[in-house]
Amino acid sequence: MTSPRTYPLPAVELAGLVDDYLYGCQPVADCGVCTALAAELTGAREAKDHGTAYDAVAEIRNHPHPVKRKP
């Protein structure tokens, strides 16, 4: 009798195929909040903490910066 697997397979990692889509963002260089979030993102990605990494990216993308008007 065969024994069917009753547990999930390990997570599949798509070798960078979706990384730009999920984690692509442009933190503003002179913004303290963006800088802190970028550091959090780097640390979370190194720790493979994908939920925290995505939260940091979403905050960077949504962080408001006033548009400088030309005089």
**What is the Cα–Cα distance from 51 to 44, expressed in whole angstroms?**
8
Contact between 34 and Zn ion per CB under 5 A: yes
Q: Are 59 and 32 in contact (CB under 8 A)?
A: no
Contact between 39 and Zn ion per CB under 5 A: no
Contact between 31 and Zn ion per CB under 5 A: yes
Closest distance between Zn ion and the C-beta of residue 59, in Å? Answer: 9
Contact between 28 and Zn ion per CB under 5 A: yes
Question: Given candidates 22, 23, 33, 59, which one binds Zn ion under the rule CB under 5 A?
Answer: 33
Residues in CB range of 35: below 8 A, 6 or more apart: 27, 29
